[in-house]
Amino acid sequence: MNDEIIELWKSNEPLCEEGRLFLVERGLSIPQCIKKGICSKDGIVYFIYTNNGEPVRWKARSIKDKKKQFMSKLESKDQDSFKMPFFSHFKYPSSDYLIITEGEFDCVALSQLGASNCVSLPNGCSSVETAFKNNYEFLQQFEVIYIAFDMDESGEKAALKALSLISPSKYRRICFPFKDANDWIIQNPDVELDDLKALMLNAKRVEDKCITNMMDLPESFYEAIDLGISSGWKKLDDILGGVRTGEVTVISADTGSGKSTFCINFFKNLADQGKGIWLNSYEMSPEMVNRKLASIVLKTRLKNRAFTEEEKKTYFDYLKKHRCYLNIQNSKVDIEVLRKQFELASLVYDVKYILVDHLDYIYSNGKKKTSLENIDESVREIHALAMEFKVGVVLVVHPTKVPEGKEITMADLKGSSAIKQYADNIIIVTRMDRLDAYDLLRVQVRVFKNRLQGIERSFFLRYVPEIDGYTESF
């Protein structure tokens, strides 16, 4: 290394007049340039690279032609072992963050604004990999590393390369409103530390929720789990804990066993607690769905007769106070259309619980699929929709044909393997008179799957035909 340049750097006047003028024209502070290790002579600006304060190499560039740049030669004994430091490399950090710029002038520009721990690459963006690897231990000292490279194609590529070389949790990418830090202060002489802090605050960071550091999990992960709202039946609450959004609850029963009646009673209980409900029945007419809900609300049988004016008024008063929505188009629906409907219901109408009655009327897009493939994809997608839109979904599923007098189990459901995998809760309702002709009006509610609580148990409700509803007392 040329001793003459080092002597110039150590002198009281390291910058010649031409060098001073050049640096001032770039908006740079002369005291800051000297502090950082810049000197000049005979039309050349020199950048002194130090290691723990001791000069180890210098870089030179022509004042008139920036393309003319060169490094001081290494002695032969150092060529294999020498590791180039960053420009303005220091021994002891003064804060928990580091800013790395692409060039030396950018480093000076940010330092004169008041930035702590600012360094630059030794040879522009082409040196990012070697600089980061050579100074790995140095980089590990910092909780946050701001990449302040140029806002051009090569700077963006270098910033992405830097991301692969440091911890994603530390990575921040400062985006300048101009090409680089030096250009920023040239174009805006009045910028100050607060402006830089604003850029740092808004720096891009690696945020992919698919890969979240478990140290960064939200506080809610450590709070008690919300068991949801009441199902309206104490014994079912004792088993499930409650009815929760983000879950899919499958309801099944034999034909004519009251699946729809059970579900509409269930949803009336949810609506009574102030939650928005949306009823989709692709099998039962919307008129009958409305009539069933009205029967439960009015506690009177409305199988086929006309409503009285008093009944309509009482029912309307209920609907005014409760957010109840009905799908009056009961044709088959593909999963993409259903997704748009879920989005509208949850975000616009604040629906929290959705009834889908029943699975056979949902079909997936794409190539022609077998019945089981369609069930698998539909249940999986409905579960994804429940989590995405934070709604509770009650999905009615039909069983396969079972011998008369046999109790239906989870294995009897159409597409049972997919349902067992994706459903959070599986409930099968059984009319006991189907098993014992003398056991009238008693309904067994059996929980076959309970993802959260893990309890699998059954209880009985008594069907009350006069109100098309249930009671837990006998």
Tokens 């069907």 correspond to 463
Task: Please check the confidence at residue 367 and state whether its pLDDT lies above 60.
Answer: no
Mean pLDDT score, 303-317:
95
Q: Note whether residue 400 is domain-resident.
A: yes
Percent of the residues in the chain that have a pLDDT greater than 90, as a whole number: 79
Rounded Cα gap, residues 85 and 119, in angstroms: 10
Scanning 202-258, the segments in alpha helix (DSSP H) are 234-240
Report whether pLDDT(430) > 70: yes
Q: What is the DSSP string of 346-412?
A: HHTS-EEEEEEE-GGGEE--SS---HHHHHHHHHHHHHHHHHHHT-EEEEE-PBPP--TTPPP-GGG
Q: What is the mean pLDDT of residues 96-125?
A: 96
- Evaluate if residue 473 carries a pLDDT over 70: yes
Mean pLDDT over residues 326-330, rounded?
Answer: 89
Specify whether the CB–CB gap between 262 and 471 falls below 8 A: no
Distance CA 175, CA 381 (A): 38
- Across the beta sheet with 171-173, the strand order is 118-120, 97-101, 144-148, 171-173, 204-205
| pLDDT-based confidence at residue 376 (cuts at 50, 70, 90) | confident
Mean pLDDT of 26-48: 96
CATH at residue 248: 3.40.50.300
Q: Is the pLDDT of residue 237 over 80?
A: yes
How far, in Å, are 99, 287, 392 from residue 316 at the CA level? 65, 15, 25
3-state SS class at 420: helix
Q: Are residues 320 and 440 in the same domain?
A: yes
- Reported pTM: 0.64
Where residue 1 falls among pLDDT bands split at 50, 70, 90?
low
* CATH code, 147: 3.40.1360.10
Q: Is residue 222 in some structural domain? A: no
What pLDDT was estimated at residue 368? 55
Q: Please give the Cα distance from 142 to 345 (Å, whole number).
A: 46
Q: What is the mean pLDDT of residues 290-315?
A: 94
Per-residue confidence (pLDDT) for residue 81, from 0 to 100: 84
Query: Range with the lowest mean pLDDT among 1-10, 171-180, 245-254?
Result: 1-10
The reply to whether 310 falls in a domain is yes
Q: Do 208 and 239 belong to one domain? A: no
- The arithmetic mean of pLDDT across residues 112-116, rounded, is 95
Average pLDDT over residues 77-96: 90
CA distance 310 to 318: 12
Cis peptide, bond prior to residue 358, ω within 30 of zero: yes
User: Do 34 and 92 belong together in one domain?
Assistant: yes
Closest CA to 354 of 248, 430, 433, 272: 248
* Rg for the chain, CA atoms, rounded: 36
Query: Given this model, what pLDDT does residue 22 score?
Result: 97
Say whether pLDDT at 208 is over 80: no
In this structure, the answer to whether residues 272 and 375 fall within a common structural domain is yes
Please check whether residue 444 lies inside any domain of the structure.
yes
Average pLDDT over residues 44-61: 93
Q: 210 and 245 in one domain?
A: no
**Residue 3 CB neighbour total at 10 angstroms:** 7
- Claim to verify: residue 124 and residue 74 sit in the same structural domain: yes
What are the DSSP calls for 37-80, one per residue? Answer: TEEEETTEEEEEEEETTEEEEEEEEESS-TT-EEEPPPPGGGTT
The answer to whether 298 and 316 are in contact (CB under 8 A) is no
Q: Which of 181, 214, 247 is the last residue of a domain?
A: 214
Do 192 and 278 belong to one domain? no
* Domain housing 99: 3-214
Residue 226 lies in a domain: no
User: In this predicted structure, what is the pLDDT of residue 366?
Assistant: 56
Q: Comparing 310-314, 322-326, 433-437, which segment has the lowest mean pLDDT?
A: 433-437
Are 411 and 350 part of one and the same domain?
yes
Domain count, the chain: 2
Average pLDDT estimate for 293-305: 92
Instruction: Identify the domain boundary among 152, 181, 214.
Output: 214
Task: Determine the Cα–Cα distance for residues 362 and 165; give it in Å rounded to an integer.
Answer: 47
Q: How far apart (Å, rounded) are the C-alpha atoms in residues 330 and 280?
A: 7
Q: What is the C-alpha to C-alpha distance for residues 373 and 56, in angstroms, rounded to an integer?
A: 68
What mean pLDDT is predicted for residues 74-99?
Answer: 89
Kindly state whether residues 17 and 124 are assigned to the same domain.
Answer: yes
197 and 253 assigned to the same domain:
no
Average pLDDT over the chain reads 93
Find tokens 């963050």 and name the residue: 97
| pLDDT at site 369 | 67
Asked if residue 151 belongs to a domain, the reply is: yes
Q: Domain end: 214, 242, 257, which one?
A: 214
Q: Is residue 328 included in any domain, yes or no?
A: yes
pLDDT at residue 2 in the model: 72
Going from the C-alpha of 77 to that of each of 31, 67, 81, 82, 378, the distances in angstroms are 35, 29, 8, 9, 69
Same domain, 59 and 192: yes
Secondary element (H or E) of residue 461: strand 458-464
Each residue of 120-142: pLDDT tens digit? 999 999 999 999 999 999 999 99
Distance CA 46, CA 31 (A): 15
Let me know if 287 is exposed, middle or buried by CB neighbors in 10 A (0-12, 13-18, 19+). exposed
Say whether both 192 and 251 belong to one domain. Answer: no
